A and B are shown apart, each in its own frame.
Chain A
């Protein structure tokens, strides 16, 4: 009985927050409600026993998507014209060539799209419910001994469905390239002083975030966790660093960072190609080697996802060093 009203409150709050998000009068309120919605959705996933999804939703859906939306909002120039507010979001993240979105056709198109996609998902979920059955669980459990990876989710993501994961990493990589092609980080002259509380918070929390990412990484092979979740936590550390230290904005120029951005996709491509040397199809690991591959790929994915999310939050490459170099401390 207690569980029934507890879940009922969750579901009602989700609906109210979803409506609040889309009906908010100004974008900032909408984003704040969206973040609250993501955290509540993570709780609901946890209540449904889907710990992997709960972790991903809390870290990416609520945390980093919220940060990305807020940094986009800062660049759109919709906030107060005085410009002083933007300091809180990061002094250098303001793009003065801000564009205002068109306001007429957008809501209708967005509503039609959302209703179409939502309807399709609802229909698919209902048809799944009707055909009942235990889902993919038993099939995965039957194949798992052959793969040797302890966690069912990790076995699916890194072995049975590794091709999907490869394409996901390619999408993330392409996103960073697109952002680097289109966006520029402009430095303010004179530079804003950095908030000392922000920099000490970044210094204090970063070790914890790296520790948590390491834990999620090694936990991912046995249970909930994994490279994407670990990468999201690293991305959070990257966002904090971006806000606290202006030197972080030169990240995209460093060879190590560029290498790190590619290792996730790179490791999956290597894992895809190596079996073909032995005459096997793409991404079919030799018997007994799957856990080893999985461990390496998870590590590479975590590094790449963390750097990708940080780069997306920065929103571009820094403008030419010779112009801005003199401002750097």
Chain B
């Protein structure tokens, strides 16, 4: 099934990305307060998406295709980081305290 070393590396990277996605999901569900949950899902998912993107970029037919995939990751990282900031800022302005397990 794996036909070249590059493909093997790509599969390994994509699987590693999946592990980070799963970690982000567990963090989102289990972490104590809204800030920690946003932190988990923003950072772990962005890293996971980065690993998946590098994996997919490796098996693209040309550098242009690979660059496109990496651009998608760059934009997603930007949006995810900024989105996490906005959510946390809103929570802070709503006076949600650190460690508040009740707030959404």
Footprint of B on A, CB under 8 Å? 80, 82, 84-85, 87-88, 195, 197-198, 201, 204-205, 208
B39 an interface residue at 8 Å Cβ cutoff? no
Shortest distance from the beta carbon of B72 to any chain A beta carbon, whole Å: 11
Let me know if A201 and B94 touch, CB within 8 A: no
Let me know if A197 and B75 touch, CB within 8 A: no
Interface stretch (choices B24-32, B44-52, B83-91): B83-91
B82 an interface residue at 8 Å Cβ cutoff? yes
State how many residues of chain B have any CB contact under 8 Å with chain A.
11
Closest chain B residue to A197, Cβ basis: B85
Pick the contact of B89: A80, A88, A201, A208 (CB < 8 A).
A88
Q: A198 to B90, alpha carbons, bound, how many Å? A: 13
Shortest distance from the beta carbon of B78 to any chain A beta carbon, whole Å: 7
Shortest distance from the beta carbon of B75 to any chain A beta carbon, whole Å: 7
B93 an interface residue at 8 Å Cβ cutoff? yes
Q: A195 to B93, alpha carbons, bound, how many Å? A: 12
Let me know if A80 and B94 touch, CB within 8 A: yes
Let me know if A197 and B82 touch, CB within 8 A: yes
Q: A82 to B94, alpha carbons, bound, how many Å? A: 8
Q: A198 to B82, alpha carbons, bound, how many Å? A: 7
Measured between beta carbons, the chain B residues less than 8 angstroms from A204 are: 78
Measured between beta carbons, the chain A residues less than 8 angstroms from B90 are: 85, 87-88
Closest chain B residue to A85, Cβ basis: B94
Let me know if B93 and A84 touch, CB within 8 A: yes
Q: A189 to B7, alpha carbons, bound, how many Å? A: 60
Let me know if B94 and A197 touch, CB within 8 A: no
Shortest distance from the beta carbon of A132 to any chain B beta carbon, whole Å: 39
Let me know if A195 and B89 touch, CB within 8 A: yes
Shortest distance from the beta carbon of A233 to any chain B beta carbon, whole Å: 13
Measured between beta carbons, the chain B residues less than 8 angstroms from A87 are: 90, 93
Shortest distance from the beta carbon of B13 to any chain A beta carbon, whole Å: 22
